[in-house]
Amino acid sequence: MVKVRVPYLENFEFQPAVLDKDLSTPESGVVKGDRYIVGSSASGDWATKEKNIAWYDGVEWKFDAPKKGTLVFVSDENIFYFYNDSNWVLLVEELGLGDMLKTVYDTDENGIVDKAESIDDGAGNTATASDIKDAVDKKHAHSNKAILDAIEQAFTTALKTSYDDAVSKAHTQNTDTKLDEGGANEVSASEVKGAVTNSHTHTNKAILDAIDVSFTTVLKANYDDAYNKRAQIDNDLGIIFFDL
């Protein structure tokens, strides 16, 4: 009897990622659902199944022969592979992205390492990695550095001289004993001091203080009377008492 697998989930969970594509024989400790692309010189349970997708059903290995256009994600390399009817190739190469980006992909223990050999803006302007490094190394080099440094030093010195002069004059006091607006209005320092000292004095202070006391007394008496007549709530009776 032939078993047929029919996908019934929208995102095809029946087809998880491939764990590896370069092994010739199964790893130890496989579990149900593990998938691999069988590598070259296959042996043991995978013998003669090179390039097939091997999957473990929990008891034995099953194999799917890839068709042109089959796409899988290889977990240990963290990248998609495409079957072009004869070999498994990187999807980016199949799409032409490898040539466009001029990128070389190497696999190490951390996955794919992208090594850009050059850049090309598509308009004939190219630069190699060594060109870029040389430009970076020289990014601050210029032939007139000594002249610019001398100008900067001179400018800094002039600024400091001006600043020191301003600071030395910043606290100079005016010791004039009089203020004069240039006309007939002239005020001496003692007159200014007297005006400041007497600025809040007035002859009717006692009268105002007496009014303030009387007004405060009346307000307090009215407040006390209102407080004594405030409403009282009797929670037990559920009523409010008013003292009238």
* Residue 205 token pair: 């202070």
pTM for the model stands at 0.40
Gap between the Cα atoms of 36 and 44, Å rounded: 14
pLDDT tens digit sequence for 24-39: 999 999 998 899 999 9
Residues (pLDDT < 70) of the chain are 1-15, 97-117, 139-143, 170-184, 199-203, 227-244
Gap between the Cα atoms of 77 and 89, Å rounded: 13
pLDDT tens digit sequence for 149-171: 888 888 788 888 888 888 777 65
Using CB atoms within 10 A of its CB, is residue 37 exposed (0-12), middle (13-18) or buried (19+)? buried
Alpha carbon distances (Å) from 137 to 39, 81, 91, 132, 134: 45, 39, 36, 9, 5
Percent of the residues in the chain that have a pLDDT greater than 70, as a whole number: 66
